[in-house]
Amino acid sequence: MAEEFLRIEKLVKTFGANQVVKSVDLAFNKGEFISLLGPSGCGKTTILRMIAGFERPTSGAIYVEGRDFTNLSPRRRNVGMVFQAYALFPNMSVFDNVAFGLKIAGKPKSEIAARVKEMLKLIHLENLADRYPYQMSGGQQQRVALARALAPSPRILLLDEPLSALDAKIRVSLREHIRQIQQQLGITTVFVTHDQEEALSISDRIVVMNAGKADQIGKPAEIYNRPATRFVASFVGTLNLIEARVVDPAANRVAIGDQAVTLREPLGDAKAGDTVSLALRPEAGSIAPDARGDTALTGEVVSSNFLGSVIRTRMNVGGSIISFDMFNSPGLVPPAAGDTVTLRFTAGDLLIIRD
């Protein structure tokens, strides 16, 4: 059974008349990697800063291993934090930057030297101890910032959009390195990002934040495959949102334009004539002649766009524009605008969006 480590209860933060965090409840397990995912202004960084102690909650509480941390000063929390903008000391070498927290804690020189060496080996920069930040790339600087945060052996690691200032290739490499280090050390980690791919690729669980609230909490596959709200459905991944009309609620039959389909998910209290919102991932269906599926929609192609590994085609089905993806291959001829195609998929791929 997982051991609860960090718990947030009814956390609220207000700046003037603006409530940026609205009664959030979260529980994180020991050694878990949690991502707070959401757009700018959704409250994710404010939650991180309250865990660190840089902001005091307007109301609510924060517990670590059962101890109330709500009003503790940052230095008494033993929390490591990595910021978006590196925040390295420009006048200090890599060694001195990593050693900073250990020196503040009054550790002996021999222990500091050994720990810094260990940290630099962990981030694969053991040969750059004498360099200064201006002599290093952005990715190297961010790894030094990570080592500095980890050197004092914090109980929690907090990462505030640490990869957003880096280019795409370095971001992918460094996020994998961060996850590897986190798993190696077994440290409970909270990672703030607006990048859904980052969150999906490295998290044990994701908290999708929307306007100060946690819209959904779950494993990456759950968040992606079973979005709980309209916001999660539209924010995480590419998704078709389709308006349908209830035809026969008892049989879970709905109509998309003039084409009736049977849903696997119960319609609940919906009545005949009601409008329901459905979600369908672009990768769920296929127009190949031998495509399998118990459900089909036929429509007219609007456009096809080459995206490298996939070709994304848009089709009009009774006024709803539905996108679907095909894997690119040298011999593939995508459908052209004006073509009539039939998209086949399973009924379970159509999700009802209830919020």
Encoding tokens for residue 309?
């590994």
Answer yes or no: is pLDDT of 56 > 70: yes
Q: Average pLDDT, stretch 103-120?
A: 93
Which region, left, alpha or beta, applies to residue 41 given φ > 0 means left and ψ of -120 to 50 means alpha? left
Answer yes or no: is pLDDT of 2 > 80: no
Share of the chain above pLDDT 70, in %: 99
Q: Average pLDDT, stretch 301-328?
A: 91
Antiparallel, parallel or unpaired: β 205-210 and 33-37: parallel
Which region, left, alpha or beta, applies to residue 127 given φ > 0 means left and ψ of -120 to 50 means alpha? alpha
Q: What are the pLDDT digits (tens) for 198-235?
A: 999 999 999 999 999 999 999 999 999 888 888 998 89
Domains, the chain, with CATH or none: 4-228 (3.40.50.300), 240-353 (2.40.50.100)
Answer yes or no: is pLDDT of 291 > 70: yes
Gap between the Cα atoms of 97 and 75, Å rounded: 17
Q: For the residues of 303-331, what is the DSSP string, one character each?
A: EEEE-SSEEEEEEEETTEEEEEEEE--TT
Gap between the Cα atoms of 348 and 46, Å rounded: 37
| Spatial CA neighbour of 36 closest among 49, 17, 23, 19 | 49
Report the chain's C-alpha Rg in angstroms: 25
Answer yes or no: is pLDDT of 135 > 70: yes
Contact 94, 148 (CB under 8 A): no
Residue 308's pLDDT is: 85
Residue 332 pLDDT grade (very low, low, confident, very high; cuts 50, 70, 90) = confident
Residue 222's pLDDT is: 94
Gap between the Cα atoms of 237 and 218, Å rounded: 15
Instruction: Give me the phi and psi of 232, to 5 degrees please.
Output: -60, -40
Answer yes or no: is pLDDT of 320 > 60: yes
Share of the chain above pLDDT 90, in %: 77
| Spatial CA neighbour of 86 closest among 183, 153, 25, 174 | 174
Please tell me which residue, 143 or 1, carries the higher pLDDT value: 143
Q: What are the pLDDT digits (tens) for 248-279?
A: 999 999 999 999 999 998 998 889 999 999 99
Answer yes or no: is pLDDT of 1 > 70: no
Answer yes or no: is pLDDT of 341 > 90: yes
Contact 126, 94 (CB under 8 A): no
Q: What are the pLDDT digits (tens) for 83-99?
A: 888 789 999 999 999 99
Residue 148 pLDDT grade (very low, low, confident, very high; cuts 50, 70, 90) = very high
Gap between the Cα atoms of 280 and 261, Å rounded: 13
Residue 79's pLDDT is: 93
Residue 230's pLDDT is: 86
Residue 346 pLDDT grade (very low, low, confident, very high; cuts 50, 70, 90) = very high
Count Cβ neighbours within 10 Å for each residue of 82-92 and write b for 16 or more, e otherwise: bbbebebeeee
Q: What are the pLDDT digits (tens) for 150-195?
A: 999 999 999 999 888 788 888 899 999 999 999 999 999 999 999 9
Contacts of residue 159, defined as CB under 8 A and 6 or more positions apart, other chains included, come to 81, 82, 178, 189, 190, 191, 192
Mean pLDDT, all residues of the chain: 92
Report pTM: 0.88
